[in-house]
C-alpha cells in the first residue's frame, strides 16, 4: 500500500498544479457523483463498498468538503474503475467504457479449481454481521445530535479502540461527554442492532472439513467475545485474530503476518474474505488471495468458493 499511496499523492500534487477538478471541490464532487452513477451505484452502495460514512460522501458530492481525504478519493476511483488522474481531471463525468468494470477484487482473479487454498479468513463487519454504523442513527436520536457528529466521533476513536489502546469504558465516557448525553453505552446499543448474515455463516459452515477457518477482524475490545457468547457468530474458529487483543489492525502489514503465522500455512494458501477494498489490496500485497464481498460476490459466495476449493 505504501507504493500505491505515494503514487496517488504524486498524482494529487501534479493535478493541483493544473486547472482541474482538484482545484474545485464542487467540480470534484460532481465528478465523483457522475462516476458513481456511471457504475450504477447508489450513495449507500458506494459507502458500503468503501467504508466511507454516508454523511461524508454526501458532503463530498455537493462540494462541502474543500479537501477530501486522499485515501477516500483513491477508494472511490478504484471502485468506479477509473484512474485517479481521470477522476481528478474530470473524466469521471464520462461513463467508463464498461459501466460495471470487473474489479480484480470484486471476485477472486480467475483460477483453476482447487487453487491451493488451505485456510480461509473471514472478516467480521459487513461480512459475518452488519456494519457498526447501523447503531449510529439510534445514538444520534437518543442524544439529539446530528448523525455526522456521531459518525465523526467514531471515526476519530475507531483506531484506538481497534488497537485496544482505548477501553470500551473510556470510550463510553467520551461518547457520553461529546454527545452531551450521560450514560450512553456503545456496546449495549451495538448489540441491540447487530445482525448476523446467515447466508455467509451458512457458507462458512459448509467449509468445515474442506479447509481450516479463521476470523480476522478490526474489532472493539470485548466485541468478539460478546458476539460469540450470544451465539451471533460461531465460537469454533480454528484461529481468531482480534485486532484489539493483539494491537495490530488491517490494513497494516503486521496483522497479516501475525495471521499467517497463526494459520501455519504459506501466504498463497490463505484466502481473505473482506468487504473493504483496502484490506484486500493489503492482503494481496502479502501474497494472500482475496475475495471482496460486495453484494454480487455475497450472492454467489458458495459457488465461487466451490470453484476455488473444489467442493
Tens digit of pLDDT for each residue in 121-161? 999 999 999 988 889 999 999 999 999 999 999 999 999 99
Give per-residue pLDDT as tens, 41-75. 777 667 767 777 767 787 788 888 877 776 677 77
The confidence score (pLDDT) of residue 82 equals 65
pLDDT band at 23 (very low <50, low <70, confident <90, very high): low
pLDDT (0 to 100) of residue 5: 42
pLDDT-above-70 percentage for the chain: 78
C-alpha dist (Å) from residue 291 to 103, 207, 270, 277, 301? 11, 15, 11, 9, 9
Query: Partners of 183 in the beta sheet?
Result: none
pLDDT tens across 84-120, in order? Answer: 666 666 544 344 444 444 444 444 443 333 469 999 9
CA separation for the pair 272, 256 (Å, rounded): 10
pLDDT confidence of residue 108: 45
Q: In whole angstroms, what is the distance from residue 119 CA to residue 272 CA?
A: 9
Query: pLDDT digits over 224-264, tens only?
Result: 999 999 999 999 999 999 999 999 999 999 999 999 999 99
**Measuring CA to CA, which residue among 159, 117, 156 is closest to residue 248?**
159
User: Residue length, the chain?
Assistant: 311
Give the model's pLDDT for residue 137. 94
| Best mean pLDDT range from 38-52, 68-82, 186-200 | 186-200
Amino acid at each position: 500500500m505504501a507504493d500505491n499511496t505515494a503514487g496517488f499523492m504524486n498524482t494529487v500534487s501534479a493535478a493541483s498544479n493544473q486547472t482541474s477538478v482538484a482545484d474545485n471541490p464542487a467540480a470534484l464532487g460532481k465528478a465523483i457523483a457522475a462516476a458513481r452513477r456511471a457504475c450504477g451505484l447508489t450513495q449507500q452502495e458506494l459507502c458500503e463498498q468503501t467504508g466511507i460514512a454516508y454523511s461524508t460522501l454526501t458532503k463530498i458530492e455537493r462540494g462541502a468538503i474543500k479537501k477530501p481525504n486522499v485515501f477516500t478519493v483513491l477508494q472511490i476511483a478504484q471502485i468506479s474503475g477509473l484512474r485517479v488522474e481521470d477522476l481528478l481531471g474530470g473524466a469521471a463525468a464520462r461513463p467508463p467504457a464498461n459501466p460495471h468494470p470487473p474489479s480484480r477484487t470484486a471476485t477472486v482473479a480467475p483460477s483453476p479449481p482447487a487453487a491451493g487454498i488451505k485456510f480461509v479468513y473471514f472478516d467480521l463487519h459487513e461480512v459475518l454481521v452488519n456494519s457498526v454504523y447501523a447503531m449510529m442513527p439510534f445514538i444520534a436520536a437518543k442524544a439529539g445530535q446530528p448523525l455526522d457528529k456521531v459518525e465523526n466521533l467514531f471515526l476519530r476513536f475507531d483506531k484506538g479502540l481497534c488497537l485496544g489502546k482505548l477501553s470500551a469504558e473510556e470510550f463510553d465516557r467520551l461518547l457520553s461527554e461529546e454527545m452531551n448525553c450521560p450514560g450512553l453505552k456503545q456496546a449495549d446499543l451495538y448489540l441491540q442492532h447487530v445482525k448476523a448474515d446467515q447466508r455467509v455463516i451458512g457458507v462458512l459452515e459448509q467449509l468445515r472439513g474442506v479447509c481450516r477457518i479463521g476470523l480476522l477482524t478490526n474489532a472493539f475490545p470485548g466485541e468478539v467475545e460478546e458476539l460469540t457468547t450470544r451465539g451471533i457468530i460461531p465460537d469454533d474458529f480454528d484461529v481468531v485474530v482480534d485486532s484489539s487483543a493483539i494491537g495490530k489492525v488491517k490494513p497494516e502489514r503486521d496483522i497479516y503476518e501475525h495471521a499467517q503465522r497463526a494459520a501455519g500455512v504459506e501466504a498463497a494458501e490463505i484466502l481473505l474474505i473482506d468487504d473493504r477494498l483496502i484490506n484486500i489490496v493489503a492482503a494481496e500485497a502479502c501474497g494472500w488471495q482475496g475475495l471482496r464481498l460486495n453484494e454480487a460476490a455475497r450472492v454467489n459466495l458458495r459457488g465461487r468458493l466451490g470453484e476455488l476449493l473444489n467442493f
